[in-house]
Structure 1
Amino acid sequence: MADSRSQSSPRQARAIAGLWKSLAGRRLATLWCLSRLAGPLVHRFSRREREVTEINLGEVYPARSTAERRRLARESLTHSTATMLELGFAWMGDPERVEASIQAVHGRELLDEARAEGRGVIVLAPHFGNWEVLNFWLSSHFPFTAMYEPPKIAELDAVTRAGRERMGASLVPTNPRGVAALLKALKRSEAIGILPDQEPDWGSGVFAPFFGRPAYTATLLPKLVARTEARVVTGVARRIPGRGFELHFLPADTRVYSPDEAESATGVNACVEAAIALDPAQYQWEYKRYRKVVEEQQGHPRHQEFRLY
């Protein structure tokens, strides 16, 4: 079995990389048409993605009808499909074409003002729209550092890293050495990127409300703010289907600056909620955001897996 996996993985990686390369020069309108064809198939045949998406939508939008949530689930999986098909465009497409696809940048002054004041900028970049286009723009216009975790298919590491670094981004590992690199970048008044909506390992987060339900949330942000006085903004690349993208940089919820980790994490989740409000269908709802829960047992927290999934 081990030999079979090791032999199939390179073939799979070559096929995926070849698909991205073949799509890199296609028009965004073509990629969106492909997404609209493939998205409903993903919704119908990818049971895991469909079920997790619908469960999450039921948790965060309980007041909406079942029909509305199912429609939103189909739209969300179509946008997720578009993001995957657009990776070749973002990573391998002609840089001038990628830059031209960004039709507007809202809130850039938040970044410029912070740097003019000699402060670093922490960009909270949730899984919304096409976050690789956001990375392209940030690394094109600012010294930019982001944490990087290699893909599950190891043979795609070189392709992924090259795509994300091609406009000058500096990628650092998700370990103490990477955190030290982020701190140094902020002290140089540069910009860094953080994913605010991934569950960290136990011991690296706290529970904070996300759409009213406790979600285990990373506590890296307050540590970085406390040591650098950086400004925090939320950044997303909202898709204009078939035509391009609009970047939105939003002021952070003021609670992110609290030295209290739980309060700061609450602010981080509020930032993600504000980004989702731009267009809920463009958020990647198939991620198990509520996987961990805390139950009180004899006065002590007990960690368990969230039973909905």
Structure 2
Amino acid sequence: MLTLFRWLSRWPLWLLHVMGGALGWLSYVLSPLYRRRFQDNARQAGVSGPPSRAAIAEAGRLLTELPYLWMRPASRSILRHVTWEGDGLIDDAHARGQGIVFLTPHMGCFEVTAQAYAERYAARHGPITVLYRPARKAWLRELVDTARERPGLAAAPATLAGVRQMMRALRRGEAVGLLPDQVPPHDMGVWAPFFGRPAYTMTLAARLAQQTGAALILAWGERLAHGRGYVVHLSRFDEALPTGGEGQAESAAAVNRAMERLIRQRPQQYLWGYDRYKTPRGTAPTDGAAAPHRRD
């Protein structure tokens, strides 16, 4: 698999995206479970018609661009494919000596946001640490671990040790990144509305900011048509987060609302096939949570 990824990494981005669009539709047509989940999640958010159909191909492009992003030589800068919108927020936070928590939904190219930050800012402000869940399959774990070891980019597992690693990075004034719409393990989340339906939601995003004084910045990487690259969009997280244990559900709901606002900007680039409403093993479902979606 590493050999295949290295070979594909030499392909031009536009060709990888052409292949990805076809792969997205093929997966949608051939997998009834994936198609049903995709349709249910998009319908829950009120998304249909052209944006919903466009998201089918975008999901495939998310996969086929990974070899380029993960395996290209370090000498091939990702910045030549990236433009920025709102990057003054990064400069302002670092000028105040704050760490930064980037909140990125499963939308567009979420890999490119961390890589672009690492190339542009890590030399001056330290690496960006990204949260990830280790893959269960050994070959995939080896691939991901190898691919994400890039200059200026550190990876933290979704464990207590990984959380401590992120806390230390923020207290040094560095940046961290996570996907707050990723379903957390049991006991690491609370139930909070997401597009009007209860979703098990991580509490880590709010805790990181509250315990370190870091700036919260919303970030996502828009995938441009025809392989023309990406736009990294940055905006403020403009809701106050309640403190204390009783405020965890309110903080999670505020984070979900921020993710919803981003997704509504470009619903055709959200990963609607992601199993957002699943119930982690050991977690009691709440009203509106679907028991058939229970997973490890």
Give the alignment's TM-score, normalised by structure 2.
0.87
User: Deviation string for 1:67-92 (max 9, x for gaps)?
Assistant: x2xx5443222111111111111011
Tell me, yes or no, if structure 1 residue 303 matches structure 2 residue 288. Answer: no
Aligned to 2:179: 195
Equivalent residue runs for 1:250-289 within 5 Å: 250-255=235-240, 257-259=241-243, 260-289=247-276
Deviation at 1:55, TM superposition (A): 0.7
Q: In the aligned structure 1, how far is the partner of 2:52 from the partner of 2:250?
A: 31
- Within the candidate set 223, 226, 231, 2:207 is matched to 223
Counterpart of 1:151 in 2: which secondary structure?
coil
Paired residues of 1:253 and 1:268 also in contact (CA < 8 A): no
Counterpart of 1:207 in 2: which secondary structure?
strand
Q: Structure 2 vs 1, CA of residues 139 and 171 (structure 1 numbering), >3 Å: closer, same or farther? A: same
Counterpart of 1:156 in 2: which secondary structure?
helix
- Once the two structures are aligned, what percentage of the paired residues are identical? 32
Equivalent residue runs for 1:136-285 within 5 Å: 136-140=115-119, 141-142=121-122, 143-241=127-225, 242-255=227-240, 257-259=241-243, 260-285=247-272
Deviation at 1:290, TM superposition (A): 1.7
Q: In the aligned structure 2, how far is the partner of 1:31 from the partner of 1:222?
A: 36
User: Deviation string for 1:233-266 (max 9, x for gaps)?
Assistant: 11111100221110011111413x3212122111
Deviation at 1:137, TM superposition (A): 1.0
Q: Structure 2 vs 1, CA of residues 45 and 120 (structure 1 numbering), >3 Å: closer, same or farther? A: same
Counterpart of 2:187 in 1: which secondary structure?
coil
Counterpart of 2:285 in 1: which secondary structure?
strand
Tell me which amino acid in the other structure corresponds to 1:46: S
Q: In the aligned structure 1, how far is the partner of 2:228 from the partner of 2:275?
A: 30
Paired residues of 1:132 and 1:164 also in contact (CA < 8 A): no
Aligned to 1:47: 32
Deviation at 1:147, TM superposition (A): 2.0
Deviation at 1:52, TM superposition (A): 0.5
Aligned to 1:126: 105
Q: More displaced, 116-125 or 156-165? A: 156-165
Q: In the aligned structure 1, how far is the partner of 2:136 from the partner of 2:7?
A: 22
Q: In the aligned structure 2, how far is the partner of 1:253 from the partner of 1:212?
A: 20
Higher Cα Rg, which structure: 1
Query: How large is the Cα RMSD of the aligned pairs?
Result: 2.1
Paired residues of 1:253 and 1:267 also in contact (CA < 8 A): no
Q: In the aligned structure 2, how far is the partner of 1:152 from the partner of 1:51?
A: 25
Tell me which amino acid in the other structure corresponds to 2:213: E
Tell me which amino acid in the other structure corresponds to 1:153: K
- Within the candidate set 101, 105, 113, 2:81 is matched to 101
Tell me which amino acid in the other structure corresponds to 2:99: G
Give the alignment's TM-score, normalised by structure 1.
0.84
Deviation at 1:151, TM superposition (A): 1.9
Q: Structure 2 vs 1, CA of residues 185 and 97 (structure 1 numbering), >3 Å: closer, same or farther? A: closer
**Which 5+ residue runs of structure 1 have no aligned equivalent?**
1-13, 294-300
Q: Structure 2 vs 1, CA of residues 226 and 26 (structure 1 numbering), >3 Å: closer, same or farther? A: same
Tell me which amino acid in the other structure corresponds to 2:206: P
Paired residues of 1:39 and 1:74 also in contact (CA < 8 A): no
Counterpart of 2:180 in 1: which secondary structure?
coil
Equivalent residue runs for 1:18-37 within 5 Å: 18-37=3-22
Counterpart of 2:117 in 1: which secondary structure?
helix
Deviation at 1:209, TM superposition (A): 1.6
Q: In the aligned structure 1, how far is the partner of 2:284 from the partner of 2:95?
A: 46
Counterpart of 1:277 in 2: which secondary structure?
helix
Q: Structure 2 vs 1, CA of residues 189 and 213 (structure 1 numbering), >3 Å: closer, same or farther? A: same
Deviation at 1:174, TM superposition (A): 1.6
